[in-house]
Amino acid sequence: MTGEETTVLAGLLEEHRPQPGRRANILRTLLAVQQALGHVPAGAIAPIADALAVTEADIAGVLSYYPDLHTIPRGRHVIRLCLGEACVANRSAGLLTELKNELHIGLGETTADGRFALERVYCLGNCGVGPTVMVDDRIYGRVTGDQLQEILKHIS
């Protein structure tokens, strides 16, 4: 971790230190760290465990359980492609191939320039208009290859 990250982490841990007689809120602390640093660095696990008076295994368990917690930096824009049954039936696998080829990354990876991260989801609640792609907080339905290119072009 950089010196700046260490300073930010120390401030966050002071804010999230459990009150006497209260249990630590590991998830809330990890979300705050990720919000501030963009991810939960491996070097932060031991200090977090110490500050919360829990084990490193407790921290690792929460990190591995929640898919929105990340231990490596992610892209500025997160592209989530639905690979649930309805979207697969509507050819989302083809969109996955196009995304991999266009971005030169696989699922769970981030582009070299840090612009995009590619993730799979199994339902975005948009089954009637699959295939569905979510970019950051915006959902797109009935996405074709051409539309996918337009979507990517308009993301800064």
Q: Could you tell me the CATH number of the domain that includes residue 107?
A: 3.40.30.10
- Using DSSP bridges, classify how beta strands 133-135 and 116-121 pair: parallel, antiparallel or unpaired: unpaired
User: Is residue 82 annotated as involved in ligand binding?
Assistant: yes
Q: What is the DSSP letter of 110?
A: B
Residues 6 or more apart whose CB falls under 8 angstroms from that of 36 comprise 8, 9, 12
Q: Which two tokens stand for residue 84?
A: 């649930």
**Residue 42 sits in which domain range?**
3-65
Please check whether residues 37 and 85 belong to one and the same domain: no
Mean pLDDT of 9-30: 94
Please check whether residues 126 and 84 belong to one and the same domain: yes
Please check whether residues 58 and 83 belong to one and the same domain: no
Q: What are phi and psi of 9, to 5 degrees?
A: -60, -45
Q: How many CA atoms lie within 13 A of 5 on its CB side?
A: 16
Please check whether residues 91 and 116 belong to one and the same domain: yes
Please check whether residues 86 and 60 belong to one and the same domain: no
Q: What is the DSSP letter of 42?
A: G
- Mean of the per-residue pLDDT values of the chain: 94
Does residue 71 sit within a domain? no
User: Is residue 127 annotated as involved in ligand binding?
Assistant: yes
46 pLDDT band (50/70/90 cuts)? very high
User: Is residue 34 annotated as involved in ligand binding?
Assistant: no
Please check whether residues 61 and 81 belong to one and the same domain: no
Please check whether residues 53 and 100 belong to one and the same domain: no
* Beta carbons within 10 angstroms of residue 100's beta carbon: 15
Please check whether residues 82 and 53 belong to one and the same domain: no
Mean pLDDT of 126-138: 95
- Of 65, 88, 119, the domain-final residue: 65
Report the C-alpha gap between 82 and 45 in whole angstroms.
Answer: 31
67 pLDDT band (50/70/90 cuts)? confident
- The model carries a pTM of 0.74
Please check whether residues 121 and 86 belong to one and the same domain: yes
Indicate the number of domains in the chain.
2
- Kindly tell me if the per-residue pLDDT of 129 is higher than 90: yes
Please check whether residues 88 and 145 belong to one and the same domain: yes
